[in-house]
Structure formats: structure tokens, C-alpha cells
Structure 1
Amino acid sequence: MALRVLVVDDEMLARARLRTLLAECASPAAAVAGEAAHAGQALEWLAANRCDVVLLDIHMPGLDGVELARRLRAQDDPPAIVFVTAHAEHALQAFELDAVDYLTKPVRRDRLQAALQRVATRVRPPAAAAPPTGGDADAGVLLVNDLGRRIRVPVSDVLYLKAELKYVTLRTATHTHVLDDSLTDLEQRLGPRFLRVHRNALVARGAMQALERRLVPGDGADDVAEGWAVRVGPVGEWLTVSRRQVAAVKDAIAEGGL
């Protein structure tokens, strides 16, 4: 079954290009279920219709795409979000909002297809989703790029994975690597050994050492606020914990990561 797509962009030509590219995508297939020229029109459409993913521009008259994504994320069972924009400076905000992907204009078909594959992994049962492409977590390793080489990192060595800009940082006790995979894909592939402590971080249960109230990054680029954070050993780094995950982190620490 084709993914149902809502295209939100104030430029008619941009919407037309996305329609053309979506028609050329085959794995998974996608169909334009609706279009909107601004956020208000998108909210009106979504109140009466269902879609799997919103292809969302950021700079639009009135409510911008980031604020629209924030409102959608607060809803029950929201559609997946893929930002499509000519501006790269909002990438961090996009991934803090748990966007599936962030595409820059002019959009290439292969990048759009990869984004749709990530959407399919999120919205469909695992058996129907596209197979993972970035590693071999089922075999106990992840494949990463390291100075032009492909190396195998044992999953047992991974302390945490954190979404930053367009990439995911993988941290072991001795090295930091960069992955192209989305955090959502990695969460599904790695299974219960890792806990989603925040929308931008997965932490190995056995690596959690302490949970404390600390100053953590706020919503703005330079903001800090008091919140919960978990200490990751043996590196001793602190990662922000969302309020709804505090109890799960406490349980993981009490159980010794088992």
C-alpha cells in the first residue's frame, strides 16, 4: 500500500516538483493525498483526513513549518514529518522535533526515496517495512564510516546514540563515530537493550549510572533550564532525559541495566 503524503509548501512549483518526484518513487510507493499552501490550510486538511507523512516546508507566511511540526507532534498519533526546505540552519530544530528526515531543495529523488523508506519503517509493522541499510544490528554489530573506511562496531560497545544535525553520533568508551541512519531506525533495530531517554538520544541500559536534576539544554540554541539528565558511564557524560522517560530511566538504573 502506498504511503499517503500531505505536501505543505507555499510555492506552487515546489509542490508540483514534489508530486512529480513522489510519482517516481517505488520502494515504498507514495501518493499525494493532499496539498496545502500554508500551515492553517494543512491543519484544516488534517482535521478531516489522514496521512502517513507530511512533506513540510519551513519558511511560509504566518505559522512556519517548525511551529506546525511542534503542534502536530503534540497530537495523538501524529503523522511522520519530513522537512523540505532551501535552508539548512533549522536542521537541529527539526531533529529535536523527531523529524524523520530533513531534505534541502532542490530535492533529489534518491534522497526523497530514502526518507520515505524511513517513514515506512516508522508507520508500518516491522515485517512490512523496508529492510535496514546502514548496519547489521541483528548480527550484533553496526557498520560505521571511519576516515573513509567501513568498520564494524559491536553493539555491546555502544554507550549511546544521539541525533545531532543531519547525523547520529555513536559513542563508545573510546571512540565517537557518525552514522547516516535515523535514530528511529536504530531504535527499532537495536531493540530493548537501548532506551529512548529523549527524542534525540538512545542510551544502553547497562551504561546508565545515575539520574539527577541538572541544567540541560533548553528550546533555544543558547538556552539552558533545569531538567533531568542521566550519567553515561564509563565516559561520565550527561544526557537530557525527557519528563515522560524519567520513570523508565529510574527503573533501568535500579535493575542494573538488565
Structure 2
Amino acid sequence: MNIPAQLPGALRVLIVDDEAPARARLRDLLGDIAATCPSVVVGMAANGIEALRLLETACADVVLADIRMPAMDGVELARHLARLPAPVPVIFVTAYDQYAVEAFELAAIDYLLKPVRAERLAMALAKLGSAQALSDQGLAALAPGERRHFSISERGRILLLAIEEVLYLKAELKYVTARTLARDYVLDESLVQLEQEFPQRLLRLHRNCLVARAAVQGVERVGEPEAEGHWEVLLKGVDERLPVSRRQWPAVRQALRL
């Protein structure tokens, strides 16, 4: 996609909607209000994953995002955008009005219902300078379902890691390392937060480690028969073993129904 030249004082807008006519309508509405609210569309995407890829090469002042989209919806996209070094504000655009009250209570920049009117869009864009940033906790409350991806800032790019690919997570100093079959990734999140967000997916083995329940091959007792020994978790697809603390062993045994 060719990115248009920046107009002096114009807002850089990224439009994200899984329906092409909806994207085209928002682009046309931005043109209708150009006299009072100049803007330039830096890109259009069909879902959150495409939007994040576009933002690797294009800068945006605001994202107009539908809430319900395949692959990655608008709320998960907003959560990733809020974690960027320079967070990008989001205005939700959707046909589902049941989200409206929650979005406003969470101090969303604004919330537009389809079909969007030009004057209503102009009002939303005018609020950008004084709007509060959406918190990750607020966005999580807006869409209580689990995220499907972790976002990692690496070498100036936004990497998306599918959560189902993670074998385990370990806390190391100020960061959390996510281990997959292919490689390790560094997350700027806490184990406590991740354990709370994914209680059915992740299981705590000890103070510094969570394992994906789906990645557990089994467990094995390690140590001499006459010694107390300890238990280790065996993982699918890798030779690495993860020790289980004595404190966590009863919970691990119960969770794995051993």
C-alpha cells in the first residue's frame, strides 16, 4: 500500500474493519470533514493483526477500529497498541451498541455506532487531545475473554506470539521469558498478571514459573528412593524438564489429576 503524503496539521488515521464497505465509508467520511478536521489515511486493515503489521512502517495518530473482527478483534488490538512505547489511541466503531456504556465508563476516547455520521466522527476526533488513555485493565474488562496473542517489541518491530504456542513462562529479573518450540521471547508482563488472566491455560509450578497445561507430557519423581526427592514436569516436544516446588506440588497434582 502506498502511504499518502502527510498534510500539514493533518491527523494520521488507520482504519481497521473486516468489511471493505465499512472501511471505504470511514475513508469517505474523513474526506467529508476535511475542511474542519484535516486527516490522511495512512492505511486500512481487515483485522488487528494486519493493523499491527501496517504500523511497523506507518505512523498513526489514531486508529478507527471495529470491535468484532476475525483473527484479532478491536479490543485486543487496542491492548497491544496501549503497550507500545508511544501508545496509539483508539476510537471504537461498531454496530454492537451493548459495548457502548462499558466503553464510556472505561474512559474510551469515544465510541461510534454504525452507520457513522460525519459530524459524530468529527466530534470524536476533536476529543483526541484531551482524552484519557485506555488502561490494559479497562480493556480487559471491556472484553473479558482471553487474548490470543502476546505482543513483543523487538528490533523496532511488533512481534505477535500466539499464546497457544507457549510451553512455559519464567520470571527472570524484570522480565518474563516465554518458551516455545522454536525460541524464547521476552515479555514485559508479570507472572501474577498472566496467571490471573489465563487460569485455565497456565499452571504455576513454582514462584518463578508457569507451564501451559496443554504442553505437559507427564511428571517424574527425581532423587534417590531413600531421599525426599522432588517432582519434575515433562514437556511435549522438548527435552527440558521443569521442577515443581514442594509448596505447589499438591495443586499441580490436583490440576493434572494424578
TM-score by length of 2: 0.47
Flag the structure with larger Rg: 2
